[in-house]
Amino acid sequence: MGSRLLSTIFIIMVPLCVILPQADTVQSQEDEIIHSLLEESGDETDRSGLIDKIEGLTSNPIDLNKASITDLMEIPGINLLTANKIIEYRNKYGKFFSTAELYSVEGLDDKTIKRIILFTTINDEKNVPNNYPEKYSLQFRNRVVSDLQERDGFIRNKFYGNRLKTYSRLKASYGSRYEAGFIVDKDPGERIYSDMSSAYFSINNFGLIEKVIAGDFLTEFGQGLALWSPYSFSKGVDAVYPVKKHAHLISEYRSTDENKFFRGIASQINLKGQSISLFFSRNRIDARIDTLTLDILSTPIDGYHRTEEELQNKNTVSEEMIGGMLNLSISQDVKVGMLYYHSEFSNNFFSKNVYDLTGKKFNFYSFTFDVYHKNINIFGESAFNGKSLASILNLEIDLTDDFSFVSSVRNYPRNYFNIHSYGFGEKNITQNEFGIYNGIKWRTPIGLLNLYYDQYKFPFVSYSSPLPLSGDELLLYYETAPFRNLKSTLKIKSGTRETGINTAKSVEIYQEAKTSVRLELNYSASKIIELKNRVELSFYKISALSKKENGFLIFQDVKFMPAEKLYLNGRIIFFRTDSYNSAIFEYENDLDGYFSLYGLSGEGIRWYALLKFKLTEILKISLKYAETYKPGEKFIGSGYSKINGSLDNKISVQLDLNL
């Protein structure tokens, strides 16, 4: 690495000689928000549903004249004091005439206002004539992604279908009241282009009925301990925002996860600020079934149906669920909610030990609260599954406009099981975890500081570990803008975790430590060019075994936006790590609504080029070519996904039609 690495860092990181005015585009703002929320997810699981959430906020913005404090705090990066200032201004001066009026709210800086405007609107119903015709809207999105190299599953004839990954979505609406959607999706290796299909029809704001959905829908309640969608923001470079979940109660299902949505009917009724949500679902999910007892051995959630075995697991189990949610506004500052639902599966779950999921009929109860007092927000949830109580308690204090503190204590017992939960924590299952999280967000005169420290333990043995395990994680993220067109960030993330390692005699517990250090510079070279440069180092060790591994990543990213209708983005990455233990993850810009997070290990080069071009006012085309080259490798990947050779390249095409 030596002098060559230092020389490369020096060349890449030298500031530009000529700095022109800063670019400021909606696309850039959305990219920045999505990156901050998703880049630290730490694995390559598809989280396209989270991008759908961000797209949902921009396509269905919050009405400033109706928004509550809770609504405004759903905007990424907005704290309690900021939300209070907007509400107080509205109470004092009356309704907003436009979002630009936010510049008159005392204490809001330019960057915060631009972020709020991105997610808000003004719906002036008084100025709309009664006979004003409702507008039709039709959105169609078609995406095709294909590997250019053949994977082992195709070579060995284990996959029944072709290598294309396809996605088609049709969304139609009439005004703000009626909406319908339809999605078909196919993964590489699957033989049917509609392997996954989903549809819904919804009616909004019909008298007392806030929303009715027939077809596929999602339900979210409280802090996700009893009922949540398959997507949730996790710990990231924003130390405060991801801790609090913002439940949408019921919503249309617009994503492609095949095992985590409901199919039936759901409704939400508002009575003078109080909300009642009722839902019924009967859906089929994938599961591995014991051929003798017919018990459910496991419930795969990857949604793959490429091989004979995967097809045998498809839709083998049905679940029928019925329930309701009651949300009460005791006052403007006090809100509580209660949930009950009954779930019944067609087969019993096989239990490996006394703590595991067993039986086929389940009842869940939950209570949630959200209390505001000036600059303090206390919120949490307790959920009961008939055997055990899971709980989370959170405190957020905004000491000033620029300083926020959050503290969270979570306790998810070993015998709390729920396949529809997604509580905040180290794992994405709300079970066998106790943790204490503290985070601060401080906007100083010289930059923005995010800092969190999370301690956690898994108190009981599990399928993957024969002994209790514990760990901790510290993140420091500092962002500063010494010039109007230059932003630099420093991220240090360090954590220790106990892990079980197989030895000749037994499984022994060792402590592994991983630290990453990242330095990044973002230049706005002009109104049409943005440059991003990153250097990241990774360190991994198990001291007891004298095992040490290192890695580094360097990239240059260029965004070129010569016109409102044209967006170009390219990136070249150089990386080398000793193994996957020291892998470095990098989040990439991609087709709209598509998620790309890659863990790079070994030694090689990766690069991609992305084009988004609005051909007309109604038609947009997007193209991406991405390539990973590892010259020292004979194959890339493993199992059926293995590629023989040192090249892994992929091409993606997407059409968006908006009428």
Determine the straight-line distance between the first and last CA of the chain, rounded to whole angstroms: 53
Quick one: pLDDT at residue 416?
92
DSSP H stretches of helix in 381-539: none
The Cα 42–Cα 190 span in angstroms is 27
- The alpha-carbon radius of gyration of the chain (Å, integer) is 25
Strand residues in 503-601 grouped as ranges (E): 507-524, 529-542, 547-563, 566-577, 584-587, 597-600
Residue 222's φ and ψ, nearest 5 degrees, are 55, -125
Tell me, what's the pLDDT at 409? 97
pLDDT tens digits, one per residue of 11-67: 443 333 333 333 345 555 666 666 666 665 555 555 666 677 777 677 778 888 888
Q: What is the pLDDT of residues 399-443, one digit of tens each?
A: 888 899 999 999 999 889 888 999 999 887 899 999 999 999 999
Residue 389 confidence (pLDDT): 96
pLDDT in tens, 355-377: 677 889 999 999 999 999 888 99
At CA 140, angle to CA 135 and CA 146, rounded to 5? 165
Percent of the residues in the chain that have a pLDDT greater than 90, as a whole number: 56
> Residue 176 has what DSSP assignment?
T
Average pLDDT rounded to a whole number, residues 228-244: 86
Over the stretch 277-319, which tens digit does the pLDDT of each residue have?
999 999 999 999 998 899 998 887 778 999 999 999 999 999 9
For the cut 70, the answer to whether the pLDDT of residue 7 exceeds it is: no
**Distance in angstroms (rounded) separating the CA atoms of residues 250 and 37:** 23
> Per-residue pLDDT for 120 more than 60?
yes
Two tokens, residue 391:
């709980």
Provide the CATH topology of domain 62-125.
Answer: DNA polymerase; domain 1 (1.10.150)
Mention every residue, 6+ apart, whose C-beta is less than 8 A from residue 499.
465, 469, 509, 510, 511, 512
With a cut of 50, say whether residue 528 has pLDDT above it. yes
Average pLDDT (641-651) is 94
Question: What integer pLDDT is reported at residue 8 of this predicted model?
Answer: 42
Exposure letters 218-250 (e unless 16+ CB within 10 A, then b): bbbbbbbbbbbbbbbbbbbbbbbbbbbbebbbb
Query: Would you kindly state where each structural domain of the chain is located, as residue ranges?
Result: 62-125, 205-433
CA pair distance 78, 401, nearest whole angstrom:
10
* DSSP tag of 103: G
CB neighbour burial string for 173-198, b if at least 16 within 10 angstroms, e if fewer: beeeeebbbbbbbbbbbbeebebbbb
CA separation for the pair 114, 482 (Å, rounded): 20
SS in 3 state form for 335-377? EEEEEEEEEEEEEEECCCCCCCCCEEEEEEEEEEEEEEECCEE
Task: Say if residues 655 and 624 touch (Cβ distance below 8 Å).
Answer: no
Residue 18 near residue 484, CB atoms below 8 Å? no
Distances (CA, A) of 559 to 25, 405, 456, 556: 11, 34, 39, 10
| Buried b or exposed e, range 6-43, using 16+ CB within 10 angstroms | eeeeeebeeeeeeeeebbeeebbbbbebbbbbbbbbee
Question: What's the pLDDT tens digit per position in 489-499?
Answer: 999 999 999 88
